[in-house]
Amino acid sequence: MNGSLPETTSASADYSADHLIDLLRTLADPIRLRIIRLLEQQAQLGLSVGELAEVLKLPQSTVSRHLKTLTDARMTEATRDGTSMLYRLTDAASQNSLRQLRTLARQHLERDPLARTDAQRLAHVLRQRESMTEKFFGKHAPQWDALRAQWFGDTFHLESLLCLMNPAWTVADLGTGTGVMLPLIAPHVKQVIAVDPSPAMLKGAKTRVKEQQLANVELRQGGIEHLPIEDQTVDIALAALVLAYLPDPAAALREVQRILRPGGTILIIDLQPHNVVMFREKLNHRWMGFSQSQLESWLTQAGFITPRWHPLSPKTARSKVGQVAVPDLFALRAEVPT
């Protein structure tokens, strides 16, 4: 007998004499009992060999030897955490005979002075672990944004929010242009209907859809004032930088309300009021932005409820051409009553 549990997991083997002898032999060492007790107290995160050695006041080689015995007996397992291996109790350690023996050992160790000292040292070790984490973030906090962007980019956190979208939704991208939003939206919803009045723009969107293999995107030609979409068939309507081009935004909002299901949402992204004439001329806008009160009034008249306005661009934003201030953006969402 070498202390390992038999391979079979049948109920008869679990209660056999040989099985019980193996269990007793594996647990018949006070150091291994103390290790099990410590791992019980840190069941979720686990403990490294070094941490166990510090708590037990034993050489790491001794702790490693006992952990190997427990691992061979399928009582413990190790997983990598950075440069360390963290040990935890296995699911098998909570079953049948093992559970009963561990309960008996725990009752004894709760009154054992050495085990109580272990618990105090464990608390100290865990405080040290937390302190190391605090030191790391304290050191890197001033450069944290740049460090994270260096490894993960500037937009990963924004893109991840798309996972909050309902996979059963149908989304209408109104004024889709060349379809720049389609690769972001399409993987997270059931269908995207992309609408634009310009054949040239739709040609660019078609190329993007084909290159990115967006099978759930349907392109349709049409204006927002007369959408080629059936009544109450859309869950989310997106109008990103579109309203400023329309002769009658209020009429367009009434048309968007028609295609939305009860409880559906419109999300508008556009310009706040501005007086940058050059910006208007360069982008061929009809409107010099929209105020919150103006849009909320139009939305209410169109039958939307609970509008929520959120400014986007900072006041210090500057264009990349010269020193002309870029008008601020806003996002505004509203719902169709259920």
Is residue 309 pLDDT above 90, yes or no? yes
Domain interval for residue 180: 154-335
Q: Would you state the pLDDT for residue 333?
A: 97
In a domain, 1, yes or no: no
Same domain, 19 and 51: yes
Q: Would you state the pLDDT for residue 198?
A: 94
Same domain, 82 and 216: no
Q: What is the rounded CA–CA span in Å between residue 147 and residue 143? A: 6
Q: What is the rounded CA–CA span in Å between residue 62 and residue 65? A: 5
Q: Would you state the pLDDT for residue 91?
A: 78
pLDDT one-digit tens code per residue, 91-120: 776 766 667 677 777 777 777 777 778 888
Contact in structure between 46 and 52 (CB atoms under 8 Å): no
Is residue 285 pLDDT above 70, yes or no? yes
Angle made by CA atoms 194, 200, 204, in degrees to the nearest 5:
60
Q: Would you state the pLDDT for residue 28?
A: 78
Contact in structure between 82 and 69 (CB atoms under 8 Å): no
Same domain, 136 and 161: no
In a domain, 3, yes or no: no
Is residue 10 pLDDT above 60, yes or no? no
Q: Would you state the pLDDT for residue 117?
A: 86
Is residue 11 pLDDT above 60, yes or no? no
Same domain, 189 and 59: no
Q: Would you state the pLDDT for residue 16?
A: 64
Q: How confident is the model at residue 249 (pLDDT cuts 50, 70, 90)?
A: very high
97-102, long-range: CB < 8 A, 24+ apart: 97/14, 97/15, 97/19, 97/20, 97/23, 98/23, 101/23, 101/24, 101/27, 102/36, 102/40
Residue 220 carries which side chain, given as an amino acid letter?
R
C-alpha distance from residue 213 to each of 169, 191, 210, 294, 296 (Å): 19, 13, 5, 40, 37
Q: Would you state the pLDDT for residue 318?
A: 60
In a domain, 5, yes or no: no
**Domain boundary residue, one of 118, 145, 172:** 145
Same domain, 199 and 293: yes
In a domain, 2, yes or no: no
Is residue 252 pLDDT above 70, yes or no? yes
Phi then psi for residue 308, to 5 deg, are -130, 120
Q: Would you state the pLDDT for residue 315?
A: 60
Q: Which residue has the higher pLDDT, 194 or 17?
A: 194
Same domain, 69 and 125: yes
Centre a 10 Å sphere on the Cβ of residue 266 and count the other Cβ atoms it contains: 25
Q: What is the rounded CA–CA span in Å between residue 143 and residue 151? A: 13
Q: Would you state the pLDDT for residue 322?
A: 63
pLDDT one-digit tens code per residue, 31-60: 888 888 888 887 677 898 988 998 999 999
What is the CATH number for 53?
1.10.10.10
Is residue 1 pLDDT above 50, yes or no? no
Same domain, 239 and 286: yes
DSSP 6-27: PS---HHHHTSHHHHHHHHHHH
Same domain, 129 and 266: no
Q: What is the rounded CA–CA span in Å between residue 189 and residue 217? A: 10
Evaluate if pTM is beyond 0.85: no
Domain count, the chain: 2
Average pLDDT over residues 264-292: 89
